Amino acid sequence: MAESRYTKDHEYARVEGDIATVGISDYAQSQLGDVVYVELPDIGRTFARGEEAATVESVKAASEVYAPVSGEVVEVNGALTDNPAKVNEDAEGAGWFFKLKIGKEAEIGTLMTEADYQAYLKAL
């Protein structure tokens, strides 16, 4: 079963085996407003944890999406190119950005659990 982990920058990593599906949290999309453009990374590109990996633009602002863990991009959500509003409709489902083959499994443990993330949001 997939387990979602979160960063303080509101990215999530849904971990299944050695693959992390990455996107922005529902909270993040609600703060951005209507998403109008998403720039996705190239397949095969590698990122260190915390490195800028994608960009999301809304009617309010543009924001970077950072890699929550180190790894290599193995898939991108091309549907977002044609329909960036999927991020608003289902941020933590169909609105995912890219999938990483996890490079350093230990980094998963440094991310917040769902319960930790909910507590973090209440403190904002």
pLDDT of residue 121: 98
Return the HEC string of the chain. CCEEEECCCCEEEEEECCEEEEEECHHHHHHHCCEEEEECCCCCCEECCCCEEEEEEECCCEEEEECCCCEEEEEECCHHHHCCCHHHHCCCCCCCCEEEEECCHHHHHHCECHHHHHHHHHHC
pLDDT (average), residues 49-76: 97
Domain range enclosing 29: 3-123
Q: How many CA atoms lie within 13 A of 51 on its CB side?
A: 13
pLDDT of residue 103: 97
pLDDT of residue 2: 82
Segment 86-121, tens digit of pLDDT: 999 999 999 999 999 999 999 999 999 999 999 999
> What CATH number corresponds to the domain at position 81?
2.40.50.100
pLDDT (average), residues 36-44: 98
Percent of the residues in the chain that have a pLDDT greater than 70, as a whole number? 99
Q: How many domains does the chain have?
A: 1
pLDDT of residue 61: 92
Tell me the whole-structure pTM to 2 decimals: 0.97
Q: Are 27 and 7 in contact (CB under 8 A)?
A: no
Whether pLDDT at 1 is above 90: no
pLDDT (average), residues 69-93: 97
